[in-house]
Amino acid sequence: MRRLPRLVRPFSTAPSAPITPRPSPPKSHLHFAPESNALPRGYALAGVYAGVKKKPTDPNAQPPPDLTLVVSTTPAPAAAAAVFTRNAFRAAPVRVCEAVLEEGGARVRGIVANSGCANAVTGKQGDEDAWAMVKATDALFKPLESSPSPSSTAPSSMVLSTGVIGVPLPATRILDAIRAQHPSAPNTQLASTPEAWVAAARGIMTTDTFPKLRARTFEMGGKTYRIAGMDKGAGMIHPDMGSPQPSTFKGTPFLGQASAGPAPPKGAHATLLGLILTDAPVAPKALQSALEYAIARSFNTISVDGAESTNDTVILLANGAGALESPPTLATLTAALEIQGQAGESDAKGLDTTVTTSGAASAGAIGEVENVVEITEEGDPAAFKAFRDALTGIAGDLAQLVVRDGEGATKFVEVKVKGAATFEDANLIARAISTSALVKTALYGEDANWGRILSATGSVAARLSTPIDPSRVSVTFTSNPTSSSTPPSPSSPRFTPSVTPSELASKPPVSSSTPGAQFRDAQGKIKDLEVLQGGEPIGFSEEHAKVLLGEEDFGIVLDLGVGSEEGRCWTCDFSYEYVRINGDYRS
């Protein structure tokens, strides 16, 4: 009898050292409530419980917010810009938002977002439910007693949803919760306080472990403006967002009856949602240009699990209130609504002022005084760049928070690809490394497995503009990459920490007794570890690798050696906890 050759050599699956499951590191130090003077003027927010998520089993526990409202309190809508998922199964709120931007001329008054149900792949009823949320939010800007015709004006509110895919939205509960937040209602929770911002950030959370908020000020045209944002996301994170697509809705959008929806869905699912607000006066076209620039350098460079959501959306509003001597508040908006109810919108005194757009004839009103100038990219390039830089910075802060809160994540890793022929090549390789399950599990195991990095790099070779020359490639593990999401100083005027100063204390100084002290420099920074140079493996200390990869933050630098372009991606590891989280509920 002919024997078959042995096809598989003997091997052992036992690791060189047992890996003990470990929890994600504490993240309380990342939670900050911005101070009032850091928040953009002319906005009111709320985070309330609508009944989308299940109530806690403990009758004494407060149900978590699952509905977020954002309102520009300026008399006329704010300039708006947005980017959306390019997933083929784009959710109803994504497509409705695109229609709102198109029909309203990129002018938006409010935003409504629910968590706990994605309203994705929900058919015609899902579209009608999303439009019903827009209509209900628009009604907040009308007198309480008015009943405007559904098609009387263009929609001026955008809608977001996050949660379980394929489950009908419990729209009647959501609509009731929206109506209860009318500015004139006695129990409205709309406010401009830091607490309202935190509640709004909590209202969009799903598997997130903390509300994600950042704020900063910036100078533009000799004046100080404010920009702040919130986002959510911990799983199903691999954004590839782009410009709004042409509306797929024809005719009057407010049709149909909202669905009651099923019982609250099991589990809480994730996607990437971001809301960024500024009180700077920026024209819609310039706003969209700045947002796309910032997204390409922030949210579109992150990956938790390589899964692009059906609902990924980032919205940016600019209401120009920072250019006003007396910024509008919720009280002035309420007074304006009362005037509208008495005299009609077109006759409301002081509400029809015009705002000039730099480099253009005019634009829609965003304030109650004249001579407010909305900047444009062509009309004032210096001011535009100042705004774009501030936006890119805060978008980077928010994007990194998502990775740091990745489901089960214990590591934050910056993957940098340099020496590429084009930015596109560098970015493609960085994304491939960041989404490799083998790389990410090695990161969890604190294993400097550079072979997996090269394997991921080579997997996209056919899509590169220039061939990879293996003899030129180098790989280095780096310590403490630059991170704009590290906690601000407790003395920073922009933030009020929600943790005690002791929790923010710096690490103790390095001494000879510090673990891995021989691999640190005089300042205590762990020395970089080169493992491949010019295609040749370099012998390295496994102890050095364990110390470096044992840190919560580190980096991977891959040098292709064929050009001068660079790309970067922020990612995390895959842990036992990630598998548990995603095995416990329906995706």
Annotated binding site: 206, 232, 271, 407, 582, 587
Instruction: Tell me which DSSP letter residue 520 carries.
Output: B
Amino acid at 286: A
- How are the residues of the chain apportioned to helix, strand and coil, as percentages rounded to the nearest 5? 30, 20, 50
Report the half-sphere exposure of 322 (CA within 13 A, side-chain side): 25
SS (H, E, C) 130-155: HHHHHHHHHHHHCCCCCCCCCCCCCC
> Can you count the helices (H) and strands (E) in the chain?
12, 21
Please give the Cα distance from 193 to 44 (Å, whole number).
Answer: 8
Question: What are the angstrom distances between the C-alpha of 112 and each of 101, 135, 181, 547?
Answer: 14, 10, 11, 46
Among candidates 17, 137, 107, 585, which has minimal Cα distance to 366?
Answer: 107
> Are 372 and 324 within 8 A, CB to CB?
yes
Instruction: Tell me which DSSP letter residue 252 carries.
Output: -
The two most distant CA atoms of the chain are separated, in Å, by: 101
Hey, is 46 helix, strand or coil?
strand
Structure tokens at 315: 């919205």
Please give the Cα distance from 465 to 76 (Å, whole number).
Answer: 48
Active site residues: 271
Structure tokens at 489: 């100083």
> Are 472 and 562 within 8 A, CB to CB?
yes
First to last CA, the chain: 51
Pairing of strands 212-220, 273-278: unpaired
Please give the Cα distance from 214 to 198 (Å, whole number).
Answer: 11
> Are 214 and 32 within 8 A, CB to CB?
yes
Give the annotated binding-site residues for substrate. 206, 232, 271, 407, 582, 587
Among candidates 309, 311, 331, 322, which has minimal Cα distance to 277?
Answer: 322
